[in-house]
Amino acid sequence: MEQVRAILVILATLAAIACAPAARSPAAASWHLVPGTFEPNRGPDGNSIFLDAPDGLILVDTGRHPAHRDQLLAYAAERGRAIIAVVNTHWHLDHSTGNREIRAAHPAAELYATDAIEGALVRFFPRSRAAAERFLASGEASAEQRAEIERGFSVMDDPDSLRPTRPVTRSGRMAIAGRPLRVNVARFAATAGDIWIHDEAARLVIAGDLVVAPVPFMDTACPEGWRRALDEIAAIEFETLIPGHGAPMSRPQFLAWRSAFDNLLDCAASDAVRDACIAGWLHDADAFIAPGDDRRIAEMAGYYLDSRLRAAPGGRDVWCRA
Ligand SMILES: [Zn+2]
């Protein structure tokens, strides 16, 4: 049952989050956000971000659904520029399903990612797939859910579409497509290997799922490693942070979100009752939760409390090692 619920959380998430267009400042003119989706009864798409580089376009994350892919291809066509680098902030399928089709259309594109996909191929995907197959066999899946799940299977069947051609193994400065970036690796955070990007010239942070506006998606999370990654982000200067899901944040907004995250972990580690931790999240993260979405977000926070933060010994840190 837990696996079924886990995959439903990832595959068939929750109410729509308001994904406002990016508040653009002059310093941010060299990037473009294609907002993700977070609609009822279907899996989310993560945010995708284009960066203009001297040699072509860099695309950070490729979404899940065909409609999101089409927006990405349309933007590149409108710009008349080739995508020559794809970066996956992490391997979750709401950020990487589009890899195959984007790279088929832009065959020069290298794929930058960590090697955490190798662990996912042997651990998460087989369990996730078995749970999804049981869900399909139950007959409860809608036609749209079935199509989405089968699209996910087709990616699992083509793991090379998720494997980096340019593995990112450690944090450091690098030029991607001629654009200087600081590319950071957070080990054992939202996944076993997350990438977050600091573009100093644009005063921009692309955080991937280290920041998920309405509630941290902890399905494959190591909570304490995640907390450390947020501390690293908080230590640098930036103007705008683009989360994995939700609208761009100013630095003060990010710091408020980080406080909410820290409070949730602290509450889970205390002897506070479950409902108090959930209420604390809803209060602290109120600015990041869409109107009317409280009940679903409370359910998710409760699910992560039970399945991760307050899981039986070994459960809390099950994703804290390779
Ligand atoms: Zn995500």
Q: Cα(45) to centroid of ligand 1, in Å?
A: 7
Decide: 280 and 267 in contact? Cβ < 8 Å: yes
pLDDT of residue 321: 85
pLDDT band at 24 (very low <50, low <70, confident <90, very high): very low
Q: How confident is the model at residue 11 (pLDDT cuts 50, 70, 90)?
A: very low
Instruction: Give the Å distance between the CA of 245 and the centre of ligand 1.
Output: 6
DSSP state of 59: E
Two structure tokens written together for 298: 């409370």
* Span from the CA of 82 to the centroid of ligand 1 (angstroms): 25
Q: 38: CA distance to ligand 1 center in Å? A: 10
State the distance from the centre of ligand 1 to the C-alpha of 173, rounded, in angstroms. 25
What's the gap in Å between 92 CA and the centre of ligand 1?
Answer: 6
Lowest mean pLDDT segment, chosen from 5-19, 58-72, 197-211, 292-306: 5-19
End-to-end Cα spacing for the chain = 24
pLDDT tens figures, 226-276: 999 999 999 999 999 999 999 999 999 999 999 999 999 999 999 999 999
pTM of the model: 0.91
List Cβ<8 Å contacts ≥24 apart for 193-196. Answer: 193/90, 193/114, 193/115, 193/116, 194/89, 194/90, 194/114, 194/116, 194/229, 195/87, 195/88, 195/89, 195/90, 195/112, 195/113, 195/114, 195/168, 196/89, 196/229, 196/233
pLDDT tens-place string over residues 175-186 = 999 999 999 999
Q: 3-class DSSP state for residue 144? A: helix
Using the mean position of ligand 1's atoms as its centre, give its distance from the Cα of residue 306 in Å: 20
